[in-house]
Amino acid sequence: MNTHSIISPVLFGKFVSTNLIGTVVDTLALWLLVTFAFETYPEEYVLAPTISFQLAVLNNYSLSYFWTWKGRVKKTIPDFFQRLLFYNVNCVLVFLLKLGLLVAISALLDLHVVLCNVLALTITGLINFALQDRLIFRQQKKAG
């Protein structure tokens, strides 16, 4: 049996916890922006989610590097910034998918932007785990 394909429940639990915290950061920031700062459709459905996303990315990378995937990182400055680069590229791609899903869900279900955001985050969260596990924080092969 290929043990590389088995997902550690502890690792997945940490990933989920990290992303739940990120979802709270993202959702709270989004709610604050659409409630107090933005009113038009482009502001509420493009600008506000972009800003809230950036806050969540900063939060999630820090938690991912130092907690969730800490056993897979070298804890060196070059390692930190190299992974940060790949993490950011991953996040932008996943964000673009999330934004498309948010708008599609809104058009299909006519829900509030915050609910559309939570649904889109759920779908893209599963994709994000696979990308982080297999690419960004992949298990290093042991020598020997």
CA–CA gap between residue 100 and residue 112 (Å, rounded): 15
CA–CA gap between residue 20 and residue 6 (Å, rounded): 22
Q: Does 32 fall in a domain?
A: yes
Q: Does 80 fall in a domain?
A: yes
Residue 100: what pLDDT?
A: 95
pTM of the predicted protein model: 0.70
Q: Does 48 fall in a domain?
A: yes
Q: Which two tokens stand for residue 36?
A: 């107090």
Residue 142: what pLDDT?
A: 67
* Domain boundaries, position 116: 19-136
Q: Which among 66, 68, 38 has a CA at the least distance from the CA of 52? A: 38
24: how many CB neighbours lie within 10 A of its CB? Answer: 12
Under 8 Å between Cβ of 44 and 113: yes
- pLDDT tens, position by position, 63-81: 999 999 999 999 999 999 8
Q: Does 14 fall in a domain?
A: no
Work out how many domains the chain is built from and give that number.
Answer: 1
Q: Does 143 fall in a domain?
A: no
Q: Does 142 fall in a domain?
A: no
Residue-averaged pLDDT of the chain? 88
Q: Which two tokens stand for residue 75?
A: 């804890």
- pLDDT tens, position by position, 17-42: 998 899 899 999 999 999 999 888 88
Under 8 Å between Cβ of 96 and 1: no
Under 8 Å between Cβ of 10 and 67: no
Under 8 Å between Cβ of 85 and 135: no
Q: Does 99 fall in a domain?
A: yes
Q: Does 33 fall in a domain?
A: yes
CA–CA gap between residue 123 and residue 109 (Å, rounded): 16
Residue 144: what pLDDT?
A: 55
